[in-house]
Amino acid sequence: MPSSPAKTLETFPNPAPQRDYHIHMEIPEFTCLCPKTGQPDFAVLTLDYIADKLCVELKSLKLYTWSFREEGHFHEDVTNRILDDLVKATKPRFMRLTARFYVRGGIFTNVVAEHRKKGWKPEPRVELASFPSQSNTRG
């Protein structure tokens, strides 16, 4: 049976809830309609999050983003709406949605929306020193 767009976001249990780890997803084929002209708007969505107890299931995310294809939305509205729905479904520690819309009228639009769980503090990032490769140290 063929898939069809859906507003339902499915989840699954976080396999490592004891750890803050970064989940990064790129959705390069997002489309919706301009609410003024009805013409299609195209965007690359980048989802970055740190799960708490739940992760978003990929096929449902694909069908969910597909559901906007025939809907008119301003860029700011659709970005925040998608973030709100993802936060509601997964209740993450942290989530950032970046929507990079292709040029329209000579203007590129990037919208970045974030959510932080109340009281959550990220661990400091660890930067490891890089060492020169052996090929660079030999004369």
Show which residues are catalytic: 34, 41
Do residues 67 and 82 make contact, with C-beta atoms less than 8 angstroms apart? no
76 forms beta bridges with: none
What is the spatial distance between Cα 122 and Cα 126, in angstroms, rounded to a whole number? 12
Do residues 120 and 94 make contact, with C-beta atoms less than 8 angstroms apart? yes
3-state secondary structure of 121: coil
